[in-house]
Amino acid sequence: MRGIASCYNEHAIRVSDSYCSRPSSNHNQAYLCPKLNHSTRDSVTCMYKLTQKQLFLTLTWARKLLGQGFTIAISNSQVPPSKFNARQLTKNQGKETFQSHASEIQVLWDLSGARYDEGPEPVGGFYVVVLVDSELGLRLGDKRPIEDEVSGLEARFWMVSRSETFSGSAAYATKARFCETGSCHDILIKCGAEEGASKSKSHVLSVCVDKKTVLEVKRLRWNFRGNQTIFVDGLVVDMMWDVHDWLFSSSSAAANAVFMLRTRSGLDSRLWLEEKTLHSHKEHDKIGFSLLICACKNPD
């Protein structure tokens, strides 16, 4: 049986424009995504690379029955840490210290005045600070902590991956920054019936960046898995999708779809699906950014 990476290679495309295929035949006219009712964001997991100790920190925001909260985990590689190593912090504010990978980790947070948008991740009025052996490793939020040990300190870190889970309608909206110096982009992924086609017969997948369609895949019953290439901020970004269970699963509980956007370093010919694990890369190679979206509802 042929490998999945070799199958994707045949259908991958390179583009010279900032945007991928547009459905309109008039290339001088930008194709704008329509306004849609977006689905509900249930959880957000962000992995950060801390520079001073060469550690990875994973922060997960999720909806709780008793309010908002988050979990934190530390690892020394980009492999997702075990859930058994995660610390769950459910209070609105506090301070907690623990040992991990031969380092003392201190977490300070205040969510008492946090503002939320459409998901469990706060958008303002909060702070989360992480100290590694008394050195500032991570600082999130627009609120300034009052603790003396972190005042005036600057943290060096960057986000290497972001994972989101959604439920509800088949329109998924989020934001992402594909490089440290790049701007934040609005991303919309929609899966539904093709215009003028029977809902049970033909579906189309569309991806929009900043309200412009960068990818459109028709006949999803034939193209339920695939990979295509787009450019964002001058970076090569591989877009992968798998909507097989959406279309063919007989159980609604298993009707999930997965979408991923991941940056590449350089204009090499390999797809990210062909790459070995992070351990096979040279130590000085820069870690790219990946955005993973897991959706659980059949398309309209």
Question: Same domain, yes or no, for 21 and 76?
Answer: no
Question: Same domain, yes or no, for 246 and 146?
Answer: no
Least confident window among 102-106, 160-164, 190-194, 278-282: 278-282
Confidence band for 283, pLDDT divided at 50, 70 and 90 = very low
| Residues linked to residue 87 through DSSP beta bridges, in sequence order | 72
Question: Same domain, yes or no, for 136 and 247?
Answer: no
Residue 276, pLDDT > 60, answer no
Quote the CA–CA distance of 211 and 71 in Å, as a whole number: 33
Confidence band for 7, pLDDT divided at 50, 70 and 90 = very low
Residue 162 placed within a domain: no
Tokens of 86: 């995660």
Quote the CA–CA distance of 26 and 98 in Å, as a whole number: 59
| Residues linked to residue 5 through DSSP beta bridges, in sequence order | none
In terms of Cβ atoms closer than 10 Å to its own Cβ (0-12, 13-18, 19+), residue 27 is: exposed
Query: In terms of pTM, does the model score above 0.85?
Result: no
Percent over 90 (pLDDT), the chain = 40
Average pLDDT over the chain reads 77
Bigger pLDDT: 196 vs 42: 42
Q: Which of 13, 293, 296, 21 is nearest to 164 (CA)?
A: 293
In three-state secondary structure terms, 83 is helix
- As a residue count, the chain comes to 300
Quote the CA–CA distance of 164 and 1 in Å, as a whole number: 32
Looking at 157, 191, 221, which one is the last position of a domain?
157
Looking at 128, 157, 186, which one is the last position of a domain?
157
Classify strands 87-89 and 93-100 as parallel, antiparallel or unpaired.
unpaired
* Residues spanned by the domain of 60: 48-157
Q: Per the structure, how many domains does the chain have?
A: 2
